[in-house]
Amino acid sequence: MSVLKNSFLALFILLTLSGCSTTHYAIGTSESDFKKSEKRNYQLVEETSQHAVYRQIAAADAQLKPLSYYYYYFNNGILVRTQLVEVPKQDVVLLSK
């Protein structure tokens, strides 16, 4: 019976993790297709006449603070690069009295 419980637990964890995953895009995807599929689940970080960069939260902690971001780089409306960037953690400073 415990094997069945462990299998069920493993399946539940796998389904939960896959349901929270971010969609990955192939190089060459159009900017308009990206915008349609994400439905505003991104933030425009930089834009010029030929270049655009979007940011999307890739992972967050229990308080919903971002732990990492995906960056999507478009040149002339075509995806040319993606990058996963971890949010730098603040150093803890202990002060003694």
37 pLDDT band, cuts 50/70/90, is confident
The CATH code of the domain at 24-86 is 3.30.1450
For the residues 26-49, what does the mean pLDDT come to? 86
Looking at the predicted structure, is the pLDDT value of residue 63 above 60? yes
Which tokens is 67 given? 């732990």
Name the E strands within the chain: 43-47, 51-60, 66-75, 78-86
More confident residue, 12 or 62: 62
Distant-in-sequence contacts of 22-29, Cβ < 8 A, 24+ apart: 22/56, 22/58, 22/70, 24/82, 25/72, 25/79, 25/82, 26/79, 27/79, 27/80, 27/81, 27/82, 28/78, 28/79, 29/78, 29/79
Looking at the predicted structure, is the pLDDT value of residue 81 above 90? yes
For the residues 63-88, what does the mean pLDDT come to? 89
pLDDT of residue 73: 95
